[in-house]
Structure 1
Amino acid sequence: MNLHHLKVFLAVAEAGSISAGAQRLHISQPAVTREIRDLEASLGLALFDRHPRGVRPTEGGQRLLQFAERIFALEQAAERDLRDYANLSHGELYLGASATLGAYLLPPLLNRFRRLHPQVFVDLRVSNTHEVTQQLDDGSIALGFVEGPFAQDDYACHRLARDRLLPVVGPAHPLAGRRGLHGRDLQEHDLYLREPGSGARASIEQAYREHGLRAEARMAIGGTEALKRLIAGGHGIAWLSQLVVEDELADGRLVRLDVRDLQIERDLHMLWRRDAQLSPAPAAFLELLTGNIKTF
């Protein structure tokens, strides 16, 4: 038994005659007769009783009719579901982002995406660059947003923006307000960094090495907000994205150090697996972002 035989059987059963079933299927009456005979032969069972006005399913035909109706109802439901999925009437969007991107860059874009596609479920996981690439590798997210180095051969990517890390301290720090600082002037003071695996930490460590400096963390903090609070109330130095310190610099809770010879910038990227075919929701979000990101 195959689905074509079953479709012919269902058309004849619903129409009540071979000729009416043939008209419904837009095939010849002899072809329909042949299909029914082949199906009956494969099952070893008569499926229709013939009478002057057409055909009527036998007891075995009635049993098959119940299955046929369910099968083709499922087929139609599958077509509707996939059509809605392709048109973003429903679906899922699983994203992973490092802290800066997840907390500051993505929220307004996610709000816009939700206005365009309110039926799509969105799941955003905020961690660090290392964990985001792991989530891409295991397939738990479709798109990743990172602020640190990644294995470029493993991922397709789109550069979102250029971001700058600023050296900041609390207003009571000994270096606050001093002009004309150099990187070596920072070495005598505690450096606070994000946790290992953070893209920001990797960028800072690389920049320090290139300038012959030591990036020795006196404290490792697993979150940008906690790091800002520690700096504001303590004596450490942190390099933080300009995205995350605008308000604190404006109201004086943090002070930007005037370091002349050490500037740290990094690219912000959106990633997806090279070997993955994006489903409609991630593809739509990628399209939205590529037209709405500006360089900072």
Structure 2
Amino acid sequence: MDIRHLRYFKAVSDCGSFTRAAEQLHIAQPALSMAIRKLEAELELTLLHRRDRRVRLTDEGQRLYLHAQRMVQASEDAKLEMAELKGLQRGEVRVGVSSMLGSYYFPPVFMAFRQQYPQLTLSVTDAGTDRLRQLLLNGELDLAVIVDEDCPSELQAERFLSEQMLVTCGQDHPFATQHSIRSEDFFAQDLLLFKEGFFHRKVVERMARDGGFKPRISVETNLITLIKTMVSQGFGVSTLLPMVIDKTDNLITRSFAQPVWLHLSLAWRKDGYLSQANRTFADFMLGKR
């Protein structure tokens, strides 16, 4: 049995919900569900009752849970002891992220990492994807989050997040009554966008280039709150990730008629030395720890 599958099984059992367990584990819910199904298929047993978004252990699941508790704890103890033997008592992780991800995606990731590795220091740089890529190539950063399509041959990258970019408008905007938005209609609007070099802006620029459109940019800013406030008041439209939209923002989101996806990867230099601390963070981020 894969220890990760047992860890996932234990988390679902403890949380009583796939959704809460996925949030706790920082993985996508479909990936979590697939891992549990693989475990059940391997054992040829049903481990969980799934009803009304709640899950509870079957008799077989209760028996496995006792073993999973011991095995997961033993795994964590072994990793800690081996880390100490390898000198992981201290070290610095130098990682670069965008302001949007730094504000909305990474806080729980960083907190979970610090809780598991309190002896390691996190040094976080906030910049656009172009700047982060350059800092990485220059050796000023050890790890950075970049857009997949921006990965040069000198970098090794592993995808950790795919999010759909959504058209964002105010509640009284004509887009609010539509099911999806065509690119030509989006580019006919006044746009509030991030500044050049940030992944949000690069996605829009790529769409405009591919479709032969000229964006009507009314506001350029990296202040997400400003974008959301002005859009909610009818001063144009934007495109944002679902993670930054809250019910209290008074915003409407719609998919593009041809869905637009943003694929983000954690990258590092192929020929550079990646310290044990940085390898630990990379493995943690990519679900290998």
Whether the TM-score (by the shorter chain) exceeds 0.5 is yes
Give 1:228's aligned amino acid.
Answer: K
Contact (CA 8 Å) 1:96, 1:144: kept in 2 or not?
yes
Counterpart AA for 1:161:
L
Q: Contact 2:98–2:198 (CA<8 Å) still a contact in 1?
A: yes
Segments of structure 2 that go 5 or more residues without pairing to the other structure are: 1-82
Structure 2 Cα separation of the partners of residues 258 and 136 of structure 1: 33
Which structure 2 residues correspond to residues 11-160 of structure 1 after superposition, within 5 A? 86-147=86-147, 149-160=149-160
Q: Deviations over 1:26-59 (max 9, x none)?
A: xxxxxxxxxxxxxxxxxxxxxxxxxxxxxxxxxx
Between the two proteins, what is the percent identity of the paired residues? 24
Give the C-alpha shift of residue 116 in structure 1: 1.6
Structure 1 pair 225–292 and aligned structure 2 pair: CA distance change class (3 A)? farther
TM-score w.r.t. structure 2 length? Answer: 0.65
Change (3 A) 1:252 1:125: closer
DSSP 3-state at the match of 2:112: helix
Q: Quote how far apart the aligned CAs of 1:242 are.
A: 1.6
Separation in structure 1 between the aligned mates of residue 128 and residue 148 of structure 2, nearest angstrom: 9
Q: What does 1:161-200 correspond to in 2, within 5 Å?
A: 161-179=161-179, 181-200=181-200
Deviation at 1:148, TM superposition (A): 6.1
SS at match of 2:160: strand
Question: How far apart, in 2, do the equivalents of 1:113 and 1:244 lie?
Answer: 22
Asked whether the 8 Å contact 1:147–1:200 carries over to 2, the reply is no
Equivalent residue, structure 1, for 2:68:
none
Matched residue of 2:177: which SS? Answer: coil
Q: Flag as ranges the 4+ runs of structure 1 deviating above 6 A.
A: none
| One-letter amino acid matched to 2:144 | G
Query: What's 1:36 paired with?
Result: none
Select 2:265's aligned residue among 261, 265, 269: 269
Deviates further, 228-237 or 122-131: 228-237
Asked whether the 8 Å contact 1:165–1:265 carries over to 2, the reply is yes
Q: CA–CA distance in 1 between the matches of 2:217 and 2:167? A: 14
Q: Give the secondary-structure state (helix, strand or coil) at the position aligned to 1:243.
A: helix
Opposite residue 189 of structure 2, the aligned amino acid is H
Distance 1:106 1:258, change over 3 A: closer
Residue of structure 1 equivalent to 2:278: 282
Distance 1:90 1:202 in 2: 37
Q: Secondary structure at the match of 1:276?
A: coil
Rate the CA distance shift 1:200–1:89 in 2: closer, same or farther, 3 A: same
8 Å Cα contact 2:195-2:201 kept in structure 1: yes
**Distance change >3 Å, CA 124–CA 185, structure 1 → 2:** same
Is the partner of 2:104 in helix, strand or coil? Answer: helix
One-letter code aligned to 1:207: M
Question: Could you report, residue by residue, the CA deviation over 1:221-266 in whole angstroms, capped at 9, with x for unpaired residues?
Answer: 1233332222122321101112212x1xx34611113642x42112
The TM-score, its normalising length taken from structure 1, stands at 0.63
**Alignment match, 1:228:** 228
Contact 1:204 1:264 in 2 (8 A): no
- How far apart are the structure 1 equivalents of 2:166 and 2:184? 16
Aligned length: 207
Larger Cα Rg: Structure 1 or Structure 2?
1
SS of 1:176's equivalent in the other structure is helix
| 8 Å contact kept, 2:193–2:217 | yes
What does the per-residue CA deviation read over 1:135-160, in whole Å, with 9 as the maximum and x for residues that have no partner? Answer: 21232221101246424212110111
Task: Work out the CA distance in 2 between the residues paired with 1:140 and 1:100.
Answer: 21
CA contact (8 A) 1:169 1:235 kept: no
Q: Aligned Cα RMSD in Å?
A: 2.4
Deviation, 1:179, is 4.3
**SS class of match (1:175):** helix
What is the alpha-carbon distance in structure 1 between the residues aligned to residue 220 and residue 148 of structure 2?
17
